[in-house]
Amino acid sequence: MSHRGPDGSGICTGAGHGLAHVRLAIVGLSDGAQPMQTADGRLTVAFNGEIFNYVELRDELKARGAVFRTHSDTEVILHLYREMGEDCLTRLNGDFAFALWDADRQRMLLARDRMGVRPLFYTEHRGVLYFASEVKAFLAIPGFDAALDPTALDQIFTLWAPIPPRTAFRNVFELEPGSLMICDRQGRRSRSWWQLDFPDAGQGPPAVDEAEKAEELLALMEDATRMRLRADVQVGACLSGGLDSAITASLAAEMMPGRLETFSLGFDSAEYDESAYQAVMAEALGTRHHAILCRNSDIAESFPEVVRLTEKPVIRTAPAPMLKLYGLVRQAGIKVVLTGEGADEVFAGYDIFKEAKVRAFCARQPGSRTRPHLFRRLYPYLPGLQKQTAGYLSAAFGVGIGSPDDPLFSHRLRLRNTAGAKLFFSDDLRAQLGGYDAAEDMAAHLPPRFARWHPLHRAQYLESRFLLPGYILSSQGDRMAMGCGVEGRFPFLDHRLVEWAAALPPGLKLRGLEEKHILRKAMAPRLPAAVATRVKQPYRAPDSKALLAAPELVRATLDPGALARDGLFNPTAVGKLVAKCAANASPGFRDDTAVVGVLSTQLWLDTFTRNDRTAARAA
Amino acid sequence: MTATIRNAVRTFMIENFLFGDAASMPANGESLLDSGLMDSTGVLELVAYLEDQFAITLADTDIVPANLDSVDRIAAFVELRARRAAA
- Among B16, B19, B34, B45, most A C-beta atoms within 10 A, so best to mutate, is B19
Q: Would you identify the CATH topology of the domain A8-192?
A: Glutamine Phosphoribosylpyrophosphate, subunit 1, domain 1 (3.60.20)
% pLDDT > 90, chain A: 80
Query: How close, in Å, is residue B74 to chain A by CA atoms?
Result: 14
Helix (H) or strand (E) holding A10, with range, is strand A8-14
A224 neighbors A497 (Cβ within 8 angstroms): yes
Task: Give the separation between CA A52 and CA A489, rounded to whole angstroms.
Answer: 10
Set of chain B residues whose Cβ sits within 8 Å of the Cβ of A396: 33, 39-40, 43
Range with lowest mean pLDDT among A168-182, A563-577, B17-31: B17-31
Of B16, B20, B33, Cβ closest to residue A396: B33
What residues of chain A lie within 8 A of the CB of B66, using their CB? 391
Distance from CA of A431 to the nearest CA of B (A): 15
What one-character-per-residue DSSP string does A62-99 give? HHTT-----S-SHHHHHHHHHHHGGGGGGG--EEEEEE
Q: Which of the residue ranges A20-29, A118-127, A249-258 would you say has the lowest mean pLDDT? A: A20-29
CATH number at residue B33: 1.10.1200.10
* Candidates A424, A580, A590; nearest CB to B39: A590
- Going by pLDDT thresholds of 50, 70 and 90, the confidence category of residue A617 is low
Pairwise CB contact (< 8 Å): A392 & B21 = no
Determine whether the interchain pair B19/A388 forms a contact, defined as Cβ–Cβ distance below 8 Å: no
Q: Report the residue from A423, A587, A590 with minimal CB separation from B21.
A: A423
Cis preceding linkage at A538, omega within 30: no
Give me the residues paired with residue A43 across strands: A102
**Which residues span the domain enclosing B19?**
2-86
Binary contact (B16, A391; C-beta < 8 A) = no
The pLDDT assigned to A25 comes to: 87
Per-residue pLDDT at A363:
77
Three-state DSSP string of A28-45: CCCCCCCCEECCCCCEEE
The nearest alpha carbon in chain A to B59 belongs to: A389
Per-residue pLDDT of A50-86, as tens digits, reads: 999 999 999 999 999 999 999 999 999 999 999 999 9
CA distance B32 to chain A (A): 10
> Do the Cβ atoms of A472 and A341 come closer than 8 Å?
yes
pTM above 0.90?
A: yes
pLDDT of A312 higher than 90: yes
In this complex, is the C-beta atom of B23 within 8 Å of any C-beta atom belonging to chain A?
no
Report the pLDDT value the prediction gives residue A369, as an integer from 0 to 100. 72
CB A372 within 8 A of CB A397: yes
Q: Tell me which DSSP letter residue A175 carries.
A: P
Q: Which of B39, B45, B66 sits opposite A420 (nearest CB)?
A: B39
Q: What pLDDT does B38 receive? A: 78
Count of structural domains within chain B: 1
A322 touches B: beta carbon within 8 Å: no
Q: Quote the CA–CA distance of A560 and B7 in Å, as a whole number.
A: 29
Using the predicted structure, report yes or no on whether residue A584 has a pLDDT greater than 90.
Answer: no
Using a CB-CB cut-off of 8 Å, the residues of chain B touching A420 are 36, 39
Task: Tell whether B33 lies on the interface with A, counting CB pairs under 8 A.
Answer: yes
Distance CA A81, CA A89 (A): 8
CATH 3.60.20.10 domain extents, chain A: 8-192
Task: Tell me if A577 and B65 make a contact (CB, 8 A cut-off).
Answer: no
Taking an 8 Å cut-off on Cβ atoms, the answer to whether B36 and A419 are in contact is yes
Res A219 pLDDT > 70: yes
pLDDT at A404 over 70: no
From A247-256, A297-306, A397-406, B55-64, the region with the lowest mean pLDDT: A397-406
Predicted local confidence at residue A619, as pLDDT: 44
C-beta atoms of B20 and A573 within 8 A: yes
Q: What is the ipTM of this complex?
A: 0.83
For residue A392, give the nearest of B18, B19, B64 by CB distance.
Answer: B64
